[in-house]
Amino acid sequence: MILQESTNPDSKVGVFIHDISIRCGEQVIALEALDLDEVLAASELQLSGSINGRGNDSVLIRVDHSFRPFMSRKTIAAPVDSSTRGRFRTDLKLHNGVNSLHIKAVDVSGAVIDSRKFELHYKGSFREWNETIFIAFFLAIIIRGLVLQAFWIPTGSMEPTLLGEKRNPFTGQLERSGDRILVSRFAYVLDLSLDGRLPFGPRIWLKIPDRGDIIVFKYPNPDTMAPPKDYIKRVVGLPGDRIDIVDGVVMVNENVLNEPYIAEPPLSDFHTIVPADCLFCMGDNRNNSSDSRFWGPMPLANLKGQAVFNYLPMNRISPIRSYPLAKAFERSAEAAN
C-alpha cells in the first residue's frame, strides 16, 4: 500500500485529525504505520479516527473515496461521537486498484478545517489469480516458443538413438513408453512469431544445422489443410550437398559416412542433390523411417529446434549428442590419401 499524508495549511489552531486506522477483520492497522508497498487483500474495512480541538460537537468528518482506473468517486459522512472524545468511524468498500481517501473535518459552514490524504492499494483474490494465471500462461508460451519445448517420441524411426512407444502386437498392451525429450528452440533460429501465433514476428537465424544434428521440424505435408505434425530426424545433407546411397553405404559429396548410430544399413539405393534452403534428413532406423528419401527435402522454414536432452524414462536420462559427420569426412579424406 502507498501512503500519503498531508495537513491543510489553513486548519484552525487546535483542530486536527489523528489516530486514523482501518479495521480488517479483527486486526486494527494504523494508516501511518503501513508499509509503502503493502497491498490489502480485504475489501470490507472500517475506517476510524479522532479529532481534537474546540467545537468538536459542530465538526463533521467527510471521506471522499475515489478509485482508479475508472476514477469513480463517492463521499461518506462519518459522524463524530463527542461522548467518546471525538471518535469517528465509517465503513469502506475498496475496489481493485488504487483507492484514494481524502478525510476532511468541516465546520457547520462547510469550510475545511483539517484534512488527511491516503492511497490504499487493494487487489482481490479473483484478480490476483487471474494475473497469476495470465503471467504463467504468458511465460509458458514464451519458454515453449523461444527456449525449450518438450516432445514425445511415438515411433521407432530414430532407434536405437531415441526409443519410441512399443506395444504388444497381439494384445495391444503398452510394453514401453516413448522417450520424452527437450528441444532447444534457439539452437538455430529465434522464432519471434511463436510458431506462427504472431504473424508479424520475424524469424532471426542464428546458424544453420550441422550434418549429424538431430532436429525437430514441421512435416512438409503437401496437403496444406492437413493438421500439422512434428518429425524428428538426423541431418545428413545441407543445401547443395550431393547424397548417394549405394549398397547400404551413405555418401555425402562422395565422402563415405561412418554411422555407428544407425539400426541397420539402408536396403535401397538413392541419389539426390539437396536444394537451396533445404536439408536432407533421415531417421537412424533407416529401414523403418519416413524421411527425405520418401517425402523430399525438409525446408529450413519448417525447422523448430535441436533435440538436446532425454528426460524420461528415468533409466534413459542423458544429453542427446549430435554425431559430428564433419569428422567422418576428414577420416574419409585421410583414408583416400
| Separation between Cα atoms, residue 262 and residue 288, nearest integer Å | 11
Q: From the candidates 21, 104, 115, 157, which is the catalytic residue? A: 157
Q: Is the peptide bond between 266 and the residue preceding it cis, with omega within 30 degrees of 0?
A: no
Q: At which residue does the C-alpha cell 542464428 appear? A: 206
Tell me which residue of 273, 260, 272, 267 sits closest to 246, measured CA to CA.
267
Task: Based on the residue annotation, tell me whether 304 is a catalytic residue of this protein.
Answer: no
C-alpha span between 141 and 206 (Å, rounded): 21
Please, what sign has the CA dihedral across residues 185, 190, 192, 197?
A: negative
Q: Is 157 a catalytic residue?
A: yes
Which of 233, 289, 304, 332 does the annotation list as catalytic?
A: 233
Count Cβ atoms within 10 A of the Cβ of residue 108 and give its class: 0-12 exposed, 13-18 middle, 19 or more buried: exposed
The residues annotated with a catalytic role in the active site are 157, 233
